[in-house]
Chain A
Amino acid sequence: MAASSDRHPLFIPLVLVGGLIFGFGLGYSHMARPEVVLNFLQFEDFGLLFVMFGGAAVTGIVFFLMPRVLDRAPLTGDRFERRLKSFDRNVLVGGAIFGVGWGLSGICPGAAYASLGIGNVTILWALAGMFLGAYLQGWWRSRATDDVDVTATGAD
């Protein structure tokens, strides 16, 4: 990742444009409405599948083509790589916790920001909850990591 100082001047404008298109899509697909997501989870409207797989189809094509077209990304000089994260138990545990929250509220992060954009001020409850949850896990994991460090130092 390029440091802020030597970033290409178009880096931030491009991210903004990408975000605009992304958010417009979330609005257009009605994913910014928790009711629509809850209808999907209750098997009343399967449209959400088209949103997720429609989006994944586009990224799939672009992720496949770009490394074959260009060596490096024009604005960062970074290599084009696929989004591959290591698999461990956390993926399933975290996924299940996420699922409880998604099923209870009908809201996920991107859709929550978009929901604010369509004028849904009530969604601030969900955003407050997300920041609280992200802070709780960060606090807990920071402490766990620091404990390991302390133990390691103590053993030396």
Chain B
Amino acid sequence: MVADPVPLQLAAELFPNGISRYAIGGLFVGLGAAVIYVGTGISAGASTFLESTLSYVSDQSRFQQYVTSRDWRLVFTLGIVLGAAVYAVVYQGGTWTTDVSWWRLLLGGVFVGIGTRVGKGCTSGHGVCGVGSASKTSIAGVLAFLLVAILTAQVVAALGVTP
């Protein structure tokens, strides 16, 4: 058997599923944010939806600042769900469910819910729009959550928690 050139071997090790699905998907994510920005000047993130939607049901003063934007944030989120559903119908050929344990999702969700709001953004707000703005705050935020997430995932895996 003829060995692949070293760069290809390396790529196969680092990217066992290739890179096209990730690169093409990423371009669509950026395009979605860009479409909203071009029309409205808004750089949209996905996590403010949590607080803005809570303003419908809670009187906490913290949530009231999002009352004016809560309707379009609801529409943006509905769009995300529907867009992913289009992917599922066209490419996935049916529904898909995760094997990750319910308690990891619930507990992780609580940390994500607290952290993203305290830290002023998430993977789309800081990671896509903030990094795209060359914002030092967002780059610091991304580095913080990336490093801690890697550490956490490694520890969880080392403890033998699967999936």
Are A138 and B60 in touch, CB under 8 angstroms? yes
Residues of A within 8 A of B (CB): 1, 3-4, 10-12, 14-35, 38, 41-60, 62-63, 66, 72-76, 78-87, 90-123, 125-139, 141-142, 145-146
B155 / chain A contacts, CB cutoff of 8 Å? 103
Give per-residue flags for B130-144: 1 if the beta carbon is below 8 A from chain A beta carbons, else 0.
111111111011111
Most buried by A among B86, B110, B134, B135: B110
A59 CA to B39 CA, complexed, in Å: 13
CB distance from B87 to the nearest CB of A (A): 3
Beyond the given pairs A15-B36, A54-B29, A78-B40, 18 more chain A to chain B contacts, judged by CB atoms under 8 angstroms and listed by A's residue number, are A12-B72, A19-B77, A19-B78, A22-B28, A22-B76, A25-B26, A27-B87, A59-B33, A73-B39, A83-B129, A93-B119, A94-B141, A97-B114, A103-B152, A113-B49, A114-B80, A129-B113, A145-B61
Are B21 and A47 in touch, CB under 8 angstroms? yes
**Complex: chain A residue closest to B44, CB-CB:** A18
| B160 lies within 8 A of chain A by Cβ | no
B35 / chain A contacts, CB cutoff of 8 Å? 14, 17-18, 21
Residues of B within 8 A of A (CB): 14-19, 21-47, 49-51, 53-54, 58, 60-63, 68-69, 71-72, 75-88, 91-92, 94-100, 102-138, 140-157, 163
A59 CA to B131 CA, complexed, in Å: 9
Are B47 and A109 in touch, CB under 8 angstroms? yes
Are A91 and B119 in touch, CB under 8 angstroms? yes
* Contact status of A62 and B50, CB under 8 A, knowing A117-B81, A126-B106: no
B33 / chain A contacts, CB cutoff of 8 Å? 18, 22, 55, 58-59
A24 CA to B84 CA, complexed, in Å: 4
A27 CA to B85 CA, complexed, in Å: 8
Can you pick out 9 interface pairs between chain A and chain B where the beta carbons lie within 8 Å of each other? A3-B68, A16-B79, A19-B32, A31-B25, A95-B115, A101-B108, A125-B102, A138-B51, A139-B60
